[in-house]
Amino acid sequence: MTQSHKGHDHVWADDLTRNQELVLGTLAHAHGPLSAYDILDRLRDDGLRAPLQIYRALDKLTERGLAHRLESLNAFVCCADAHCHQSGCIAFAICERCGKVEEFAEPAIESELKGWSKASGFVPSRMTVELRGLCAGCASQPA
Amino acid sequence: MTQSHKGHDHVWADDLTRNQELVLGTLAHAHGPLSAYDILDRLRDDGLRAPLQIYRALDKLTERGLAHRLESLNAFVCCADAHCHQSGCIAFAICERCGKVEEFAEPAIESELKGWSKASGFVPSRMTVELRGLCAGCASQPA
DNA sequence: CCCGATATGTTATTTAGTTACATCCGCGCG
DNA sequence: CGCGCGGATGTAACTAAATAACATATCGGG
């Protein structure tokens, strides 16, 4: 059951399990970040019932860089572009009005952080960079 | 009851309420980050009983920069140095072995993020930068 | 003295994430 | 074939994190 379950939309990787594919598909269709429980609610019709089923899929997906966790939101997004998990450090700008999330990679930030790490002896395994504020659209809006 | 309740250790600001002072004191004495519930447990003897009492104090303290929230840990630390809240962006390096947290300010990172914001039209209100990994001490340890 | 703003206290509830345990499925190997 | 092992699944119960709703108190100014 590994390949071609049906005519689903997009194929990110050919070796995803059913649950992983369902979760990633849900994230991909969402307009913004979703909590694990949001995802669960949208997948009840597909037979998923327990939070753990979602968390397990999310773990694998985030490990592989196909999804990202937004720490400051306790929520998840689908990775915006395929190259991202090659460039280690990804940053997010989260709009507090409309909820939209922009994913961007600033290599300069990553090298800054690497520089600090080297200087201090810290050995980083994961980096989280999140901005909260207003996106361009919302910032220019009246009230 | 705003000033000089008792001979407590250190005075960070003269206008903290009793609960705020208790919470900040707890954070200051802790060796590492504490969750809100950790703090609550340590303050039962002082009469605090409900999570909300802790969260309210933490809100005020983080607003004023006297404490910081570690998003990737759902935990809080006492601000390490008095100057920090003048330089907007603070970064944290969190050791996954010993739990120690180092707070550092890299102005270069802040200006990078400001630069991206300006270019993209995003108006940031808060920035989160957290490294996970091993501190110098733990990284050099055998197993 | 009264009033509005701010801080508190308390209970219950929602949201987030984990532990523990049983099952199932594909696959390599004797 | 049949055994067994590792990875994925399913389910229930639970712990942890955060908030809602409501009642009370405290303080400072007009």
Whether the CB-CB separation of A77 and A39 falls below 8 Å is answered with no
Please give the pLDDT value at position A2: 34
Q: Is residue A143 part of a domain?
A: no
Instruction: State how many domains chain A has.
Output: 2
Q: Strand A123-134 and strand B123-134: pairing?
A: antiparallel
DSSP-H helix ranges across A34-142: 36-42, 51-63, 107-120, 136-139
Q: What is the mean pLDDT of residues A126-140?
A: 95
Please give the pLDDT value at position A106: 87
- Tokens 């600033």 map to which residue? A106
Which of B122, B126, B132 is closest, CB to CB, to A125? B132
Q: Is residue A10 part of a domain?
A: no
Please give the pLDDT value at position A11: 67
Residue A121: closest C-alpha in chain B: B136
Question: Are A56 and A104 in the same domain?
Answer: no
Residue B134: closest C-alpha in chain A: A123
Q: Is residue A55 part of a domain?
A: yes
CATH of the domain at A37: 1.10.10.10
Q: Does B11 have pLDDT greater than 80?
A: no
Which residue, A38, A56, A78, sits at the end of a domain?
A78
Which of A120, A121, A139 is closest, CB to CB, to B121? A139
Please give the pLDDT value at position B98: 93
Instruction: Protein contacts on strand C: list nucleotides below 7 Å from a Cβ.
Output: 7-12, 15-20, 25-26
CB pair distance less than 8 Å for A127 and B131: yes
Question: Are A63 and A24 in the same domain?
Answer: yes
Across chain A, mean pLDDT equals: 89
DSSP-H helix ranges across B11-140: 18-29, 36-42, 51-63, 107-120, 136-139
Q: Does B29 have pLDDT greater than 60?
A: yes
Q: What is the mean pLDDT of residues A37-50?
A: 97
The encoded tokens of residue A95 equal: 């709009």
Domain coverage including residue B25: 18-78
Q: Is residue B13 part of a domain?
A: no
Please give the pLDDT value at position B49: 96
Which residue, A50, A78, A106, sits at the end of a domain?
A78
